[in-house]
Amino acid sequence: MTESAAPPPDSTRKLEAARRKLVRQVTNPWLMRLYMLAKLPLGLFAGLRVRHLDPERCETSVPYGWRSKNPFRSTYFAAQSMAAEMSTGALAMLALAGRPPVAMLIVGLDAEFGKKATSLATFTCADGAALFAAVEETLASGEPAVATVETVGRMPDGTVVSRFHFTWSFKRRR
């Protein structure tokens, strides 16, 4: 005789539903464009896209083109920074989806630029667990928590163009 697992509590179902809804909204090109039009118009102008989002990892991209390049024929560092931040920020938003109100803020940034980005740059952050843990710590203790996460930008051939380390702070709202 096999034991079946107990169904998840109602709060867990609601949490998962909120996360699935956020993933659908962020990865839907049209809904994301509307969001960026309202909240992040420079991201819309630069052509930022969220390519993939799950609790472990997020991939964003910024195209190389007239809207994002600098006079030296590479992707401007600010456009790379926007895509890098979005790859970590989308994970942070996913960690907060369906949870009690928690404020999130970048409190630190470190960047390294290795090669010129002369084509589409894709930023991958695989540190979702650190962001989820910081949110859980904040909710459990009521005290602010921080998480430092890395995102790496690569061109389609695999060349690393930049690495960013963002330090996110989470604080429970009262």
Is the CA virtual torsion 155, 160, 161, 162 positive or negative? Answer: positive
32 is a domain residue? yes
Residue 64 burial (C-beta neighbours within 10 Å; 0-12, 13-18, 19+): buried
Using one digit for the tens of pLDDT, what is the confidence trace for 144-173?
999 999 999 999 999 999 999 999 999 998
User: Mean pLDDT over all residues of the chain?
Assistant: 91
Q: What is the CATH number of the domain that holds 65?
A: 3.10.129.10
Average pLDDT over residues 134-149: 95
- Number of structural domains, the chain? 1
Beta bridge partner(s), residue 150: 165
Q: Does 3 score more than 70 pLDDT? A: no
Count of helix runs (H) and strand runs (E) in the chain = 5, 6
Strands 145-154 and 58-62, by their bridges, are: unpaired
What is the residue range of 33's domain? 11-172
Beta bridge partners of 104: 170
| Cβ partners under 8 Å of residue 124, min gap 6 | 57, 58, 59, 87, 151, 152, 154
Looking at residues 33-57, what average pLDDT do you find? 93
C-alpha distances in Å from residue 111, one per residue of 14, 55, 136, 167: 37, 24, 27, 12
Residue 13 has pLDDT above 60, yes or no: yes
Cα(4)–Cα(94) distance, integer angstroms: 29
Q: Is the pLDDT of residue 37 over 80?
A: yes
Helix (H, G, I), strand (E, B) or coil at 120: coil
pLDDT at position 1: 43
- Going by pLDDT thresholds of 50, 70 and 90, the confidence category of residue 7 is very low
Q: Could you tell me if 79 and 62 are in contact, meaning their C-beta atoms sit under 8 angstroms apart?
A: yes
> Is 3 within the bounds of a domain?
no
In a domain, 5, yes or no: no
* The pLDDT of residue 9: 64
**2 in a domain, yes or no?**
no
Let me know if residue 79 belongs to a domain: yes
Average pLDDT over residues 72-93: 94
Residue 1 counted as domain residue: no
- Position 10 confidence tier, pLDDT thresholds 50, 70, 90: low
Q: What is the pLDDT of residues 86-131, one digit of tens each?
A: 999 999 999 999 899 999 999 999 999 999 999 999 999 999 999 9
Q: What is the mean pLDDT of residues 54-60?
A: 95
